[in-house]
Amino acid sequence: MTSGKTLSGRCLCGAVTFTAEPRALHMDSCHCSMCRRWSAGPLFAVDVGTSLKIADGAKLGVYGSSDWAERCFCSVCGSTLFWRMRDGSFTGVSAQAFDDPGIFEFTTEIFVDEKPANYAFAGERKRMTGAEVLAAFSKQSE
């Protein structure tokens, strides 16, 4: 299942450009400590499945943040770009890296149990703890 829309995006300096077809025009925010440290805020991510095509990846930096995942950024300007499974089964793209981040509906907040108390998003949406996210992920890959 995909949105059927191919969207383009880039890092701040333009050295890394890409296209991707999101599964849905949805974004979620991750409040986990790793995403916050990496992206300077809760990471707004868009699930693009396996559709990411990096047009120019010569300047793409890759950091292996865990045994199963890696985080990709522009090695020139430092922009946060992609979070992906090492086996290629899933990529989340930073919503803010797309040319038009305003088109995504904000549907879910994850790792809410790691969110610091000094900020909160207004409005009602699905909220999941880290344990709930990990349980949902392991069901998908069974």
Interaction site with Zn ion (CB under 5 A):
11, 13, 15, 30, 32, 35, 74, 76-77
Residue 2 or 8 with smaller CB distance to Zn ion = 8
Beta carbon of residue 78, minimum distance to Zn ion (angstroms, whole number): 7
Give the DSSP letter string of the chain.
Answer: ---S--EEEE-SSSSSEEEE--SSSEEEEE--HHHHHHHSSSEEEEE-TT--EEEE-TTEEEEE-SSSEEEEEETTT--EEEEEETTSS-EEEEGGGBS-GGGSEEEEEE-GGG--TT----S--EEE-HHHHHHHHHHHT-
Beta carbon of residue 4, minimum distance to Zn ion (angstroms, whole number): 27
Residue 5 or 131 with smaller CB distance to Zn ion = 131
Residue 35 or 95 with smaller CB distance to Zn ion = 35
Beta carbon of residue 35, minimum distance to Zn ion (angstroms, whole number): 3
